[in-house]
């Protein structure tokens, strides 16, 4: 739009007591022929009896960068040379050169917030009237087409509805990070197409993320793209693997992640959307479409994405990220490839040794009792009740992990005959084989306070030729 090149411009709104107070001032400036533009943000009939320009779409307010109303701007040759906000008699008189302007008004009054800076409005106006800087191809959806149905028809979803990634929503998501929109995040498998921060933001919008989640999404993408994670294999295996994201550090509380009741289930927006953003990125950038490269025989609900935060409230517990080399107090994510979950429930164990044996039986049974000696991984999510039993016996993370490693060892004869119980130490076995290779059993702590339950998240192929957990620090 074309703004007056010279003279005075005033921006007001009816829903502002100070704007109503200075109506006589606007009238005086208009009478002297000094007011070349009077814009009203909410009512083109205000102020009455004056020539008002309708700015309800806030285009003029956007181009004038209005934060407060009333605002008086002086322009010369198309450039701003002076500005006053709110009402201060001396400042308005100095800007206009009229020493009697508003003489019968109070000395000063604060202004009100401009409608153009209401929450979410800045990005909307930037998308409508400014240069967004976005590079992704825009796909117009004309009325009466439904954008959500169009995204289903175009194959841009994971089978659930997604949020239409309008330019305003993408700009808002990009506000969640200091990284530049055109920065390359990496090549997304299985098609290994370039993914920029902007494309990641588009998929985070579609997943339902808030901007404050976006640094976690980017950290998880960085981790998933590490060759050790083997994301391409996870996306194409017939075992139907998904991505679990464990969040540690201050950011988990800051974005409101769940660490307690129903921690692995529904009900928390951050938990539900962060890992989903990775799946949508794999679909829309990498081309991971079921029936295409994705050859899952059965799949599982967790393929939509599983994200949760570890419970770090007990200082006796070493958080997962700290155990993997991240400086304590820093925020981090750990990605883990998984193929489903199972529950261990032991109401009888009353000490750490008994609980360890119970967990070992469950761990030895998953996939197949004959599968042992490495090549698989698991993540054990200890509930608070299980942690209470261990902690009362003086066990910490290291003791639990080493205890489970030892307890899942069995004789070759037990493995051959599908016996899931751990070797009890009787006799003189010729050899013992552990279910997991060192480092392939990951332990985290989360869940509700009541219930002697813990969950085993069953991993995908582990080791040098499979998927290994990868941890990354979250940066702003």
For the entire predicted model, the pTM comes to 0.88
Same domain, 67 and 169: no
Residue 411: predicted pLDDT: 86
Domain presence at residue 404: yes
Same domain, 161 and 78: no
41: domain CATH number is 3.40.30.10
Domain presence at residue 123: no
The pLDDT profile of the chain, 476 residues, written as one tens digit per residue, is: 789 999 999 999 999 999 999 999 999 999 999 999 999 999 999 999 999 999 999 999 999 999 999 999 999 999 999 999 999 999 999 999 999 999 999 999 999 999 999 988 999 999 999 988 888 888 888 878 899 999 999 999 999 999 999 999 999 999 999 999 999 999 999 999 999 999 999 999 999 999 999 999 999 999 999 999 999 999 999 998 999 999 999 999 999 999 999 999 999 999 999 999 999 999 999 999 998 888 899 998 999 999 999 999 999 999 999 999 999 999 999 999 999 999 999 888 889 999 999 999 999 998 888 888 888 899 999 999 999 999 999 999 999 999 999 999 998 888 888 888 776 655 445 578 989 998 899 999 999 998 888 999 999 988 787 899 999 999 98
Domain presence at residue 139: no
* Euclidean distance between CA atoms 391 and 32, whole angstroms: 82
* Euclidean distance between CA atoms 217 and 245, whole angstroms: 9
Residue 223 contacts residue 407 (beta carbons within 8 Å): no
Domain presence at residue 351: yes
Domain presence at residue 133: no
Q: Go through the chain and tell me how many residues it has.
A: 476
Same domain, 391 and 443: yes
Preceding peptide of 144 cis, ω within 30°: yes
In whole angstroms, how far apart are CA 146 and each of 141, 150, 206?
8, 6, 15
Q: Into how many domains does the chain fold?
A: 2
Closest Cα partner for 331 from 396, 245, 229, 391?
245
Same domain, 285 and 223: yes
Same domain, 195 and 110: no
Structure tokens at 71: 């605002």
Neighbours of 238 (CB within 10 A): 11
Domain presence at residue 126: no
Phi then psi dihedrals of residue 71, to 5 deg = -125, 135
Same domain, 111 and 151: no
CA dihedral 96→99→103→108, nearest 10 degrees, is 60
Same domain, 371 and 426: yes
Same domain, 403 and 292: yes
Residue 444: predicted pLDDT: 98
At 128 the three-state DSSP class reads: helix
Same domain, 21 and 79: yes
Same domain, 379 and 243: yes
- Residue 146's contacts (CB-CB under 8 Å, 6 or more residues apart) are none
8 pairs with which residues across the strands? 35, 74
Closest Cα partner for 341 from 387, 294, 378?
378
Residue 424: predicted pLDDT: 64
Residue 416: predicted pLDDT: 85
Domain presence at residue 350: yes
Closest Cα partner for 352 from 311, 397, 377, 389?
389
- Residue 446's contacts (CB-CB under 8 Å, 6 or more residues apart) are 259, 260, 263, 264, 308, 309, 310, 311, 381, 382, 383
Domain boundary among 76, 102, 118: 118
Same domain, 380 and 256: yes
In whole angstroms, how far apart are CA 163 and each of 160, 201, 207, 290?
10, 12, 7, 21
Domain presence at residue 226: yes
The boundaries of the domain holding residue 76 are: 7-118
Same domain, 299 and 399: yes
């Amino acid at each position: 739009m074309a703004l007056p090149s010279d003279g005075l411009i005033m921006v007001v709104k009816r829903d502002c007591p100070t704007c109503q107070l200075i109506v006589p001032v606007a009238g005086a400036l208009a009478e002297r022929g000094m007011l070349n533009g009077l814009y009203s943000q909410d009512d083109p009939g205000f102020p009455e009896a004056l020539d008002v320009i309708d700015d309800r779409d806030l285009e003029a307010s956007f181009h004038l960068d209005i934060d407060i109303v009333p605002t008086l701007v002086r322009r010369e040759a198309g450039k701003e040379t002076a500005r006053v906000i709110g009402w201060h008699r001396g400042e308005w008189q100095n800007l206009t050169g009229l020493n009697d302007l508003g003489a019968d008004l109070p000395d000063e009054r604060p202004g009100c917030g401009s409608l153009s800076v209401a929450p979410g409005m800045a990005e909307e106006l930037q998308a409508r009237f400014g240069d967004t800087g976005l590079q992704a191809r825009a796909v117009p959806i004309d009325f009466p087409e439904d954008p959500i149905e169009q995204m289903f028809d175009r194959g841009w979803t994971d089978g659930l509805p997604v949020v239409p990634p309008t330019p305003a929503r993408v700009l808002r998501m990009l506000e969640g990070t200091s990284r530049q929109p055109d920065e390359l995040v990496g090549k997304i498998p299985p098609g290994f197409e370039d993914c920029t921060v902007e494309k990641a933001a588009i998929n985070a919008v579609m997943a339902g993320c808030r901007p404050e989640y976006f640094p976690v999404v980017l950290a998880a993408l960085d981790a998933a793209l590490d060759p050790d994670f083997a994301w391409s294999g996870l996306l194409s295996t017939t075992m139907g693997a998904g991505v679990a994201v464990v969040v540690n550090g201050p950011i988990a509380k800051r974005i409101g992640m769940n660490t307690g009741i129903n921690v692995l289930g529904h009900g928390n927006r951050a938990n539900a959307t962060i890992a989903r953003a990775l799946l949508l990125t794999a679909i829309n950038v990498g081309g991971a479409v079921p029936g295409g490269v994705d050859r899952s025989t059965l799949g599982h609900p967790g393929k939509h994405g599983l994200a949760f935060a570890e419970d770090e409230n007990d200082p006796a517990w070493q958080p997962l990220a700290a155990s993997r080399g991240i400086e304590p107090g820093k925020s981090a994510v750990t990605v883990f490839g998984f193929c489903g979950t199972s529950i261990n429930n032991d109401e009888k164990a009353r000490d750490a040794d008994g609980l360890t044996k119970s967990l070992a039986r469950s761990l030895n049974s998953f996939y197949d009792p004959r599968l042992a000696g490495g090549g698989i991984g698991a993540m054990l999510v200890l509930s608070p009740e299980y942690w209470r039993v261990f902690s009362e016996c003086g066990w910490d993370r290291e003791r639990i992990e080493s205890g489970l490693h030892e307890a899942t060892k069995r004789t070759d004869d037990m493995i051959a005959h599908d016996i899931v119980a751990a070797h009890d130490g009787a006799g003189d076995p010729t050899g013992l084989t552990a279910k997991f290779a060192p480092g392939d059993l990951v332990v985290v702590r989360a869940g509700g306070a009541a219930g002697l339950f813990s969950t085993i998240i069953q991993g995908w192929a582990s080791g040098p030729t499979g998927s290994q957990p990868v941890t990354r620090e979250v940066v702003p």
